[in-house]
Amino acid sequence: MKKTLIICLCAFFVLSSQAFAYWIWTPETRKWLNPKYAVKDTPKAQFEFAKSFFDQGQYKKANNEFQKVINAYPKAVEAAEAQYYIGESFEKLDEPYAAFKAYQKVVTKYPFSERITEITEKEFKIGEKLLEQKATLWQHISGYEYPVVEVFRAVIENAPYSKYAPASYFNIGLFLKELGGFSEAKTEFDKIISEYPQSEWVDKAKYQIALCDYKMSLKPDYDQTTSKSATEKFEEIVKANPDAELSKKAKETVSELKEKDAESNFNIAKYYEKRKILESAKIYYKYVTETYPDSPWAAKAAARLYIIEKK
């Protein structure tokens, strides 16, 4: 019996020593403290301790220590800096979206931080990075919006009068256009024209709006109204900037649109001709020959008109 009791006591002390291996008794506080969760006596000391890990490239460890600054000294000047460096650490770890979330906390929790302008630029660059990465980061992982859109919206809200605001609207538009949301993309591009009329992005936005109309006109349910709208917008761009690079692209697209419109009207005429509605067929064939005389469809339309007239 005594032997069993001795064995149990030994086991208890061994296990107890293992359980309290990370706990230290401090006479000053008369408490057991775990160094793993201990915080330095001042926010400055804790921040410098965290920064030492950051400087050594131990970013995960640094983040843990920076978080202690925020938790223990939320109103200290060092808390805002700690939050900023958490974002920096995530960037170093190649986690752009996590970095954005960390930076945005600086803006919302510490709006008087001197880092706001710097953070705006960093968030814009994160948005561009997400835009480049595409597919895997295009999911609604943020819970309510695409990450890339969320980032650029934050940039606009944080600094609506900065150079990054119209550029952010433009990038949101590009992203939505890439997803096939041409109408939604046009809305974003329109905001540049209405809210930042002097911006360098205005001409690019006008071109993208015309391009959205063009893309919409290529859908199976061909809409001549959309096609004509795109043509008019492209022609305005050419007229306003005859020597610009965008104008060269616009001219090429206008040619494609006119060719498509000529083909579409020729097919409408053909539809009426097959159903013996010859007067309507003649109207559409004449429209092709008169509106697009240099198009190959004009020659075909003229041939059909000759045959109808002979009949």
pLDDT in tens, 128-183: 999 887 644 455 544 446 899 999 999 999 999 999 999 999 999 999 988 888 99
Two structure tokens written together for 118: 């710097």
Left (φ > 0), alpha (ψ -120 to 50) or beta: where does 238 sit? alpha
pLDDT at 102: 97
How much of the chain is in helix, strand and coil states, percent to nearest 5?
75, 0, 25
Domain ranges of the chain: 265-311
Number of CB atoms found within 10 A of residue 278's CB:
15
Kind and range of the H or E element at 106?
helix 96-109
Cβ proximity of 87 and 108 under 8 Å = no
* Cα distance between residue 45 and residue 62, in whole Å: 14
Sequence-ordered list of residues with C-beta below 8 angstroms from that of 138, at least 6 positions apart, any chain: 146, 147, 148, 179
pTM (predicted TM-score): 0.70
* Cα distance between residue 89 and residue 99, in whole Å: 8
Q: What is the DSSP string of 212-276?
A: HHHHHHTSSS--HHHHHHHHHHHHHHHHH-TTSHHHHHHHHHHHHHHHHHHHHHHHHHHHHHHTT
Can you tell me which residue has the tokens 């045959």? 307
- pLDDT tens-digit profile of 176-218? 988 888 999 999 999 999 999 999 999 889 888 888 887 787 6
pLDDT at 26: 47
| CA-atom Rg of the chain in angstroms | 33
- Residue of 95, 24, 19 lying closest to 63 (CA atoms): 95
**SS3 at position 31:** strand
- Residue of 187, 255, 249, 266 lying closest to 227 (CA atoms): 255
Residue 27 predicted with pLDDT over 80: no
pLDDT at 218: 65
**SS3 at position 119:** helix
Cβ proximity of 234 and 268 under 8 Å = no
- Percent of the chain, pLDDT > 90? 44
